[in-house]
Structure formats: structure tokens, C-alpha cells
């Protein structure tokens, strides 16, 4: 369930528990929101505001389009109707504003031209659609126009209860009403103020009509009847299940508006089938119907809701409109203030009525007047299948008690005239015990139920077995095994063992088995050779680094300074002495320690036994 307030706060609720799911605010900035609807796929939200715009939202709060209805001027959007190929918006002008689906390519969408032009004399307040191409619009003066959405032209006018129709019937009465209503404009007020102002105007018209009785040509009865008629059509609803009844003069369109009137119309013949006052002494009312069109709910400005059964109401043709109301199913008050929106839905085999009011609450009731709860309350509810009302339960309980009290004559006489007490109970009362299974009614009933529940089938005859007749024959008690027929076991013969090689080894074609290949570890006979594994320059570099490490160790040990080093011995064995030259040409003062060195031959120096090896360190 989606609800919206005037300041533009849109809230999503769970119908099964009443919890709030999501919320986003300021849908239209500082402008007031007047209406809310959904597309047929129920994936987009359409909100109308007093700034003359309609916005298209998704359920995450993202706005896709901004429909400019009044050309950037402020205007009250009364109702939004989403069709298959267009979006119809009414509420502030005398003509219909339409937006084609082909124009929904940019964020700001401009309206298209309605081909039918203007057919209403006053502002359009409501509209309704019935597939495939029937559109109905109701105006402020009570006139209903039937349109064809394919051609966008008007086909019929229903003006039986409009100000235009009564103009020719009374000249003195009608101008006062026209003057009074012409001072108001729908484009200058919010839809919530419409209903309250309509009620005030109705009271003023009654007073004015009473004062002008002396100067009018109409009778007092006619004036009273006309003064009770409401003009503005606030809601229009097509009865989809009565699609075929229009040809048989049945009603398929329902309208409601000022002074609590509800009217049933036949759109095929453009006639009024029935009308009645649903709420007396109130201003404007709103209504809603269930998906099967069996019930209709009406709500007024006092917070009351009435549910009517219209399944068999105005389904056939009559000479005069029906004035008797349909069957009233229930009546309750879910709110303390004016009800602004009303919806009926089916959930868990139960028809629910959701109403939004000016008291800032959204309530859930069923059609029988049983309260479910208010959205956002602390205690979560659970919608269960339909339960009868309390009054019906009380009637059933009372009827059940009456049925139990009324006893048939056959049940009254249930005594045994030949009953006598047991003799043992009189002669030996101390030792006498009553068998509850055989002597009491409760025991007999329980025993019979146990027998019926599980009946054990026993064999009809017992076989003549020796171990059962041991008492008669005098034989020893041996048990049931003595009746078994036993004999000696046969001797065990020599077991024939299967040939394992025949069944578990596959013989090759030539009749010889292949020898097993040796393992890799068994074939490795040579030792690991580093010279064949690594290149020669790596082995030489490793040998030089070992010698250099030996030189460093000899220098750090003071007792071995005079001893010849392996490097000296290595140099004396060659024709030329090897001088140690640092690898790096530049000296790095930031680090200490030995640096890499390499051996380089120096020409012109003869071999000597007193060759010297030097190293360089960084200070």
C-alpha cells in the first residue's frame, strides 16, 4: 500500500503486517500533492500537485518524467488516469489534458492536443475508463460526458442531474445557484477544500431558494426536490462486471458527489437507472468498489464509511429511476476527520477497506466493520481468512442452545423399567466391587470404541501340535522346536578352489607375461654432478666468493695475520699476480661494510712469493 500526504511524503506499507517499508519526501518541493495513482503494471507512481505538474516515480524514489499540465502555471490536478497509450489528467480546466506515450522521451513532457475539444461548461473533476475505448468525465455542474478514446470525440451526454438540464425548468431558482457556483473555481483551491466548500454552498443555496419561493413560478415541492440534488461529480466508477448489462438498460456507471448522493447510470442509453442518498446532512462523499462489483463503499467528511450490496441493484430496465437504497451491509467510523481516499481490495479471502483521512492516518477495516489496524502502529497484525461478525456468532450460539434444549420424545424415555440392584451389593457391601468395564455406561462406551478402533483377528481353530498336547501325552515339555522335522546334515565335500591366475590375470596372446618395468629410483646409479648442471661462469664466481670470504675471516682474526692466505698461495701459483679491484668506481659514504670485488690480471708484474692481497672497505 502506497500513501502520500499534502507535503509530498510518500510511504510504502506492508498490507499483511502494517509495517513501513520505504519512505521518500518532498515529491513536489513546497507544493501540495493532491492525487496519487499507479500504472496498470504497478511499477510506476504518478503524483499530481497544485503546481500544475504530474511526476512519474519508481518505488526507489527516482523521478523519470515531469508532465507540465498547465504550461508552467499553478493548477490543481484532480485525477490522473493511465491508459494503454496515453495519460489523461483532469481537475483544473474544462477540457481534457492528454500526454501520448510517444512524448515520454525526455524528462519534461509537454501535453498533446485532445481532438474532441471542450464539451463541459465547468471544470472537470473526475474521470473513469472502461476497456476497450470508453471514457467518462464528470464536471463541476453535474454533467457526465462519454468519450471514445480512439477518436477522442464525445458520443453521449448524461445531464439528467446537472445544472444545465434544470436551467429550462426554473429561471428564478437556477440563476441563484449558477451565480453562487460561478464565484468558485477549481483551479483556485485544493481538492480537499472542494468537499467542505460544496457543503457550505449547499446550505447557502437552501436558504436562498427558501427566500425566493414567493417570486418563483415553480411549486414548493419542485424547489425542495431540486435543492436536494447535488451538482459536482467527485467520483466516477465503471462496473466492469456489468459490461453487457448496458444493452439491457442496466446500470454500468456509478457517480457520487455533493450532499451524499449516489447515482447509477446506463451509458448505452444515457439514462439514470437509480439514485439514493447514502449519507444525509453531509457535504461531498467519495466511493470505491470491490473487484467483483458486488459491494460499494461510501465515505463522508465526518469519517463514516458505509458498505452497500449492489450485486442485484439496478440490473434491469425501469420506467422511473429507483430511489430506494440497496442493502446496507455495515456502517463504521474508522476516522475522526474527513476521509480523502478510499480503496477496496481482497487479501487472504477477505475484502478489506483502506481509507486515508485528514487526521493523518491510514486505516484498514473489512467490509463487515471489523477493525484490522492503522498503518504504522506498534503492534503488527495478521490478516486471516474471513470470520463471521460477532452478531452472527451470537445468533448461531443462541440457535444452538435452543436446539440442545429441544429434546425429542424418543430421547426423553431412556430408562429401563426392569432394572434391579445387584444382590451382591446388598448382601456383601464391604467386599463387593463394581466392574467399570461391564457395569458402567462410560466403561461400555469406551470399550466399544476401543474394539472398533483396533479389532484383532484371532485364528478360528488351533492346530493340533505335539507341544500343545504334552499334558495329555505325558511327554516332556520341549517347546515348539520339538515339533520341527530335523535330520542329519550331509557330509561336507572337498571344496574346489578356483584358479587365481585364470580369473585374476590376463594372459597375453603369445602365452608369455610381460616383465615389470623398474622404478626410477632403481635406475639412478650415477651421482649428482654440479658441473653438468650449472654453467662455468657461475661455478667460477662461486669459487671466487668463497676465497674472498676466507680473506675477510683472516683479517678479523689477529693471530693469523702473518700466515699466508689461500689467495696469496693461489696468486703465487700463477705466472701473474692477481690484484683485487673494487667493483664500484665511486665510494658510497652512506654504508659501511665490504663491497663486491672481482679478480683482474695486471700485466708487467712478475710472480713473487711475497704478493699482497688488499681489500677496500667503506668508512
pLDDT of residue 426: 80
Name the residue with higher pLDDT: 598 or 298: 298
Mean pLDDT of the chain: 74
Alpha-carbon span 39 to 42, nearest angstrom:
5
pLDDT of residue 527: 61
φ, ψ at 64 (rounded to 5°): -95, -40
pLDDT of residue 474: 63
pLDDT of residue 219: 36
pLDDT of residue 410: 43
pLDDT in tens, 306-350: 999 999 999 888 888 999 999 999 999 999 999 999 999 999 889
Alpha-carbon span 323 to 584, nearest angstrom:
117
pLDDT of residue 492: 84
In sequence order, which residues have a C-beta less than 8 Å from that of residue 467 and are 6 or more positions away?
477, 478, 479, 480, 482, 483
The candidate with the shortest Cα–Cα distance to 300, out of 347, 357, 371, is 357
φ, ψ at 346 (rounded to 5°): -115, 130
pLDDT > 90 in the chain, percent: 41
pLDDT in tens, 106-126: 999 999 999 999 999 999 999
pLDDT in tens, 412-433: 444 556 667 777 778 877 777 7
pLDDT band at 389 (very low <50, low <70, confident <90, very high): low
pLDDT in tens, 492-538: 888 777 776 666 666 565 656 566 677 766 666 666 666 677 788 88
Could you tell me the three cell numbers for 305?
464509511
Q: Could you tell me if 15 and 347 are in contact, meaning their C-beta atoms sit under 8 angstroms apart?
A: yes
- The strand pairing partners of 330, in sequence order, are 307
Name the residue with higher pLDDT: 185 or 301: 301
230: region left, alpha or beta (phi > 0 left; psi from -120 to 50 alpha): beta
pLDDT of residue 105: 92
Residue 31, pLDDT > 70, answer yes
Other Cβ atoms less than 10 A from the Cβ of 473: the count is 8
The candidate with the shortest Cα–Cα distance to 123, out of 220, 13, 14, 232, is 232
pLDDT band at 290 (very low <50, low <70, confident <90, very high): very high
The candidate with the shortest Cα–Cα distance to 34, out of 259, 240, 234, is 234
Lowest mean pLDDT: which of 27-41, 206-220, 420-434, 445-459? 206-220
State the Cα torsion 185-190-196-197 to the nearest 10°.
-20
Lowest mean pLDDT: which of 377-391, 400-414, 468-482, 493-507? 400-414
φ, ψ at 292 (rounded to 5°): -90, 0
pLDDT band at 215 (very low <50, low <70, confident <90, very high): very low
pLDDT of residue 402: 64
pLDDT in tens, 564-580: 544 444 444 444 333 44
pLDDT > 70 in the chain, percent: 63
Cα 163 to Cα 204, 227, 273, 451: the distances in Å are: 16, 11, 19, 83
Alpha-carbon span 207 to 172, nearest angstrom:
14
Lowest mean pLDDT: which of 44-58, 425-439, 585-599? 585-599
Q: Could you tell me if 98 and 57 are in contact, meaning their C-beta atoms sit under 8 angstroms apart?
A: no
pLDDT of residue 195: 47
Q: Is 49 exposed, middle or buried (0-12, 13-18, 19+ CB in 10 A)?
A: buried
The candidate with the shortest Cα–Cα distance to 27, out of 74, 51, 343, is 51
Q: Could you tell me if 561 and 553 are in contact, meaning their C-beta atoms sit under 8 angstroms apart?
A: no
- As a whole number, mean pLDDT of residues 441-448 equals 78
Residue 69, pLDDT > 80, answer yes
- The strand pairing partners of 149, in sequence order, are none
pLDDT band at 619 (very low <50, low <70, confident <90, very high): very low
Strands (E), 322-423: 327-332, 339-346, 351-357, 362-366, 371-374
φ, ψ at 24 (rounded to 5°): -145, 145
Alpha-carbon span 350 to 384, nearest angstrom:
8
Name the residue with higher pLDDT: 222 or 5: 5
Alpha-carbon span 35 to 191, nearest angstrom:
9
pLDDT band at 286 (very low <50, low <70, confident <90, very high): very high
In sequence order, which residues have a C-beta less than 8 Å from that of residue 220 and are 6 or more positions away?
213
pLDDT of residue 176: 29
- As a whole number, mean pLDDT of residues 67-90 equals 91
Cα 446 to Cα 434, 454, 457: the distances in Å are: 16, 12, 20
- As a whole number, mean pLDDT of residues 63-82 equals 91
| Lateral strand order in the sheet of 63-68 | 33-38, 45-49, 53-57, 63-68, 108-109
Helix (H) or strand (E) holding 275: strand 271-277
pLDDT of residue 51: 92
Lowest mean pLDDT: which of 18-32, 359-373, 434-448, 521-535? 521-535
Alpha-carbon span 127 to 233, nearest angstrom:
9
Cα 590 to Cα 593, 618, 619: the distances in Å are: 10, 9, 9
pLDDT of residue 308: 95
pLDDT of residue 324: 93
Q: Is 19 exposed, middle or buried (0-12, 13-18, 19+ CB in 10 A)?
A: middle
Amino acid at each position: 500500500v502506497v500513501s502520500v500526504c499534502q507535503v509530498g511524503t510518500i510511504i510504502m506499507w506492508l498490507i499483511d503486517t502494517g509495517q513501513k517499508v520505504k519512505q521518500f519526501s518532498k515529491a513536489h518541493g513546497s507544493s501540495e500533492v493532491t492525487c496519487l495513482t499507479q500504472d496498470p503494471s504497478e511499477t510506476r507512481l504518478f503524483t499530481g500537485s497544485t503546481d500544475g505538474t504530474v511526476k512519474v516515480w519508481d518505488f526507489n524514489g527516482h523521478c523519470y518524467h515531469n508532465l507540465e499540465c498547465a504550461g508552467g502555471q499553478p493548477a490543481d490536478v484532480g485525477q490522473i488516469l493511465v491508459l494503454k497509450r496515453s495519460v489523461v489528467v483532469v481537475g483544473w480546466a474544462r477540457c481534457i489534458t492528454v500526454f501520448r506515450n510517444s512524448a515520454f522521451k525526455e524528462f519534461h513532457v509537454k501535453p498533446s492536443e485532445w481532438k474532441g475539444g471542450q464539451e463541459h461548461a465547468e471544470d472537470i473533476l473526475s474521470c473513469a475508463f472502461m476497456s476497450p475505448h470508453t471514457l467518462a468525465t464528470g464536471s463541476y455542474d453535474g454533467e457526465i460526458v462519454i468519450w471514445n478514446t480512439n477518436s477522442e470525440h464525445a458520443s453521449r451526454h448524461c445531464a439528467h442531474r446537472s445544472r444545465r438540464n434544470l436551467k429550462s425548468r426554473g429561471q428564478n431558482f437556477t440563476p441563484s445557484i449558477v451565480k453562487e457556483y460561478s464565484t468558485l473555481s477549481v483551479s483556485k483551491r485544493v481538492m480537499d477544500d472542494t468537499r467542505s466548500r460544496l457543503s457550505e454552498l449547499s446550505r447557502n443555496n437552501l436558504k436562498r431558494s427558501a427566500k425566493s419561493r414567493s417570486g418563483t413560478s415553480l411549486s414548493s415541492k419542485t424547489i425542495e426536490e431540486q435543492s436536494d440534488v447535488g451538482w459536482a461529480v467527485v467520483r466516477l466508477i465503471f462496473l466492469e462486471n456489468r459490461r453487457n448489462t448496458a444493452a439491457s438498460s442496466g446500470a454500468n456507471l456509478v457517480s457520487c458527489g455533493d450532499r451524499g448522493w449516489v447515482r447509477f447510470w446506463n451509458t448505452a442509453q444515457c439514462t439514470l437507472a437509480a439514485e439514493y442518498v447514502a449519507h444525509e446532512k453531509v457535504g461531498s462523499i467519495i466511493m470505491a468498489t470491490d473487484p467483483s462489483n458486488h459491494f460499494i463503499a461510501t465515505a463522508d467528511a465526518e469519517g463514516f464509511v458505509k458498505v452497500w450490496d449492489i450485486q442485484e441493484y439496478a440490473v434491469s430496465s425501469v420506467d422511473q429511476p429507483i430511489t430506494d437504497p440497496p442493502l446496507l451491509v455495515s456502517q463504521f467510523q474508522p476516522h475522526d476527520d474527513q476521509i480523502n481516499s478510499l480503496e477496496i481490495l481482497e487479501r487472504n479471502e477477505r475484502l478489506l477497506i483502506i481509507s486515508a483521512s485528514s487526521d493523518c492516518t491510514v486505516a484498514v477495516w473489512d467490509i463487515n466493520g471489523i477493525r484490522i489496524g492503522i498503518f504504522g502502529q506498534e503492534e503488527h497484525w495478521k490478516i486471516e481468512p474471513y470470520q463471521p461478525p460477532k452478531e452472527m456468532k451470537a445468533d448461531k450460539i443462541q440457535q444452538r442452545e435452543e436446539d440442545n434444549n429441544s429434546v425429542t420424545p424418543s430421547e426423553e424415555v431412556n430408562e429401563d423399567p426392569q432394572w434391579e440392584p445387584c444382590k451382591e451389593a446388598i448382601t456383601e457391601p464391604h467386599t463387593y466391587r463394581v466392574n467399570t468395564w461391564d457395569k458402567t455406561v462410560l466403561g461400555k462406551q469406551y470399550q466399544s470404541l476401543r474394539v472398533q478402533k483396533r479389532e484383532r483377528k484371532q485364528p478360528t481353530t488351533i492346530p493340533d501340535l505335539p507341544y500343545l498336547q504334552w499334558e495329555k501325552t505325558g511327554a516332556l515339555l520341549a517347546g515348539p522346536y520339538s515339533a520341527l522335522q530335523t535330520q542329519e546334515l550331509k557330509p561336507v565335500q572337498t571344496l574346489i578352489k578356483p584358479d587365481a591366475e585364470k580369473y585374476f590375470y590376463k594372459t597375453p596372446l603369445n602365452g608369455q607375461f610381460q616383465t615389470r618395468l623398474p622404478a626410477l629410483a632403481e635406475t639412478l646409479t650415477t651421482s649428482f654432478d654440479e658441473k653438468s648442471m650449472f654453467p662455468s661462469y657461475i661455478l667460477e664466481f662461486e669459487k671466487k666468493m668463497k676465497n674472498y670470504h676466507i680473506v675477510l675471516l683472516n683479517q678479523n682474526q689477529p693471530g693469523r695475520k702473518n700466515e699466508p692466505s689461500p689467495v696469496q698461495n693461489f696468486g703465487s701459483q700463477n705466472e701473474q699476480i692477481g690484484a683485487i679491484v673494487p667493483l664500484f668506481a665511486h665510494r658510497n659514504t652512506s654504508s659501511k661494510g665490504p663491497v663486491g670485488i672481482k679478480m683482474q690480471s695486471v700485466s708487467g708484474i712478475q710472480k713473487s712469493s711475497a704478493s699482497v692481497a688488499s681489500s677496500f672497505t667503506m668508512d
